[in-house]
Amino acid sequence: MNLRTVTQLGIALLTAMSGTVWAETVKVSLDAVETDLIIDNAGNKQSMWTYSGTVPGPVIRVTEGDVVEFTLHNSADNEQSHSIDFHAAIVDVLDEFASVNPGEQKSFTFAANHPGVFIYHCGSDSMAEHISRGMYGVIIVDPAAGYSETFPRPDREYVLVQGDLFAEGTSAEDRAMGKDWTNALVNGKVFHYDPVHDSNASLTLEAEPGERVRIFFVNAMINEAAAFHPIAGIWERVWDNGNPKNVRYGLQTVEVPPAHGMVFDLVPPADRPTNNALVDHRMRHALRGAITVLMTYEGVAPEKGKSELIIR
């Protein structure tokens, strides 16, 4: 073994040891649940179709290189066939993403080889109806390389998923064509985190002044892009699709197309408490629910925007 080989072996070992990230097999299972859900801060309900009973469905978080062993259960109590389309997977639409009849289940595996923030959604007929009734969620694939100078570690993380609300009973065809659209949902509710525009709202996003706040934003609307802007702020960095290689700096408004996700960092001033309104600047969406307040102040509970509390 010559010196060069030893050096290469040493570098390889160091790389392996410092990476501290090892590919894992992650088991994930979701249930298709057709149920009535509260869709605003006043407690109004609507008939929704969901993954595991919430809109959006559970946040799935894996690391680049992991293998996801996935199972979708479709309860015999349901009336509809359902399916799942993971945008983080490279598979066969006619195989892995095929519909599952009520009373049946389907399992498949995929390797999460691309880092970023991806939507998952139902692809069963009519896809427009299944998505706009709530069958969508987020899978975050953290980069295997971890944090770096261009992809710094955030102090808080929040997931925001924007979706549609149509009038109860709107047909699949009308949904697809945008008829009887009533509201924009943020994490399943109208003005979910906006006590300014909705006196029934009790939640906001919170951080300490000067903290780096990372927003995993996914647009689950079926027809329209979201023009994401932090009122009274500037996106310090934005990563298209959430991939650390796709970094951009100092942006004001970023268009996020339907069924796409991006990662947005905001670093509010450190010397004073401030408020931002994270808004879809398309006024039709903003005024119908797509405004989220981020408050910064001293003394925010340390667990907010961490681990399980990146969505609530």
Task: Establish if 213 lies at the interface with Cu ion (CB under 5 A).
Answer: no
Contact yes or no for 19/64 (Cβ under 8 A)? no
CA–CA–CA angle 183, 307, 16 (5° rounding): 125
**Cβ closer to Cu ion: 80 or 219?**
80
- We find the least distance from the C-beta atom of residue 80 to Cu ion, in angstroms, to be 6
Q: Where are the beta strands (DSSP E) in the chain?
A: 25-38, 45-51, 60-63, 67-74, 85-86, 104-111, 116-121, 136-142, 156-166, 181-186, 205-207, 213-219, 226-231, 235-240, 247-251, 254-256, 260-266, 274-280, 291-296
By CB under 5 A, name the one of 33, 89, 122, 159 that touches Cu ion: 122
Q: State yes or no: residue 214 binds Cu ion (CB under 5 A).
A: no
Give dist(CA 219, CA 58) in Å, integer: 16
Kindly state whether residue 73 participates in binding Cu ion, applying the rule CB under 5 A. no
Q: Verify binding: residue 237, Cu ion, rule CB under 5 A.
A: no
121 contributes a contact to Cu ion by CB under 5 A: no
> CB-wise, 50 or 219, nearer to Cu ion?
50
Which CB atom, from 66 or from 129, has the smaller least distance to Cu ion? 129
Nearer residue to Cu ion within complex by CB, 99 or 296: 99
* Smallest distance, Cu ion to C-beta of residue 51, A: 9
Which among 91-99, 115-123, 143-151, 268-276 is the span making contact with Cu ion, rule CB under 5 A?
A: 115-123
- Residue 290 CB, nearest approach to Cu ion (Å): 23
Number of residues that bind Cu ion (CB under 5 A): 5
Place of tokens 């961490």: 306
Q: Is 229 among the residues that bind Cu ion (CB under 5 A)?
A: no
Determine the Cα–Cα distance for residues 47 and 66; give it in Å rounded to an integer. 35
Strands 25-38 and 104-111: unpaired
Among 41, 46, 124, 170, binds Cu ion (CB under 5 A): 124
Q: Which stretch binds Cu ion (CB under 5 A): 62-70, 119-127, 181-189, 234-242?
A: 119-127
d(CA 204, CA 289): 14
Query: Residue with CB nearest Cu ion?
Result: 122
Comparing CB distances to Cu ion, the nearer of 29 and 202 is 29
Q: What is the CA radius of gyration of the chain?
A: 20
Q: Beta 116-121 vs 45-51: how paired, if at all?
A: unpaired
Sole binder of Cu ion in the list 84, 112, 117, 135 (CB under 5 A): 135
Cα–Cα distance for residue pair 60/62, rounded to 1 Å: 7
The interface with Cu ion within residues 78-107 (CB under 5 A) comprises 82
List contacts with Cu ion (CB under 5 A). 82, 122, 124, 130, 135
